[in-house]
Amino acid sequence: MIKAEIHSNGDKIDGFAILGHSGTAPRGQDIYCAGVSSLSQSAYLALVKHLKRQVRFEQASGDFKVILDDEPDELTEAVFQTMLLGLIEIEKLRPDALQVSRVGETVRGEQNDF
């Protein structure tokens, strides 16, 4: 199962962690993993390339973590909320493949905020 953890700083999202694989199909053929990957990587690209925000990220097999270096604002919130809407829709379709959760406040400036 994929676990999507949405991190917040007060009332705004400031990062996320996508952890694991859905296990619903062989590697490279899993539409749920592909959907989650597309949403999370698009959010990362929107933050870095379009909004020019500084982020920290980690990527490993099955894991992708992103945290803003600066305070979230209305534009970053729009990116994160759009990703979250897509993740929630996937979770509705296959709750055995994806679990979305919101976790407590992220502490800024520390290593391994995830």
Average pLDDT along the chain: 90
> Does any domain span residue 113?
no
> Does any domain span residue 82?
yes
Q: Is the pLDDT of residue 103 over 80?
A: yes
- Kindly give the residue spans of alpha helices, DSSP state H, lying in 61-105: 74-93
> Does any domain span residue 111?
no
Could you tell me the residue range of the domain that residue 59 belongs to?
2-105
- Cα–Cα distance, 46 to 67 (Å, whole number): 13
pTM given for the model: 0.88
Q: Give the total number of structural domains in the chain.
A: 1
Mean predicted confidence (pLDDT) in 75-94: 97
Q: Is the pLDDT of residue 90 over 50?
A: yes
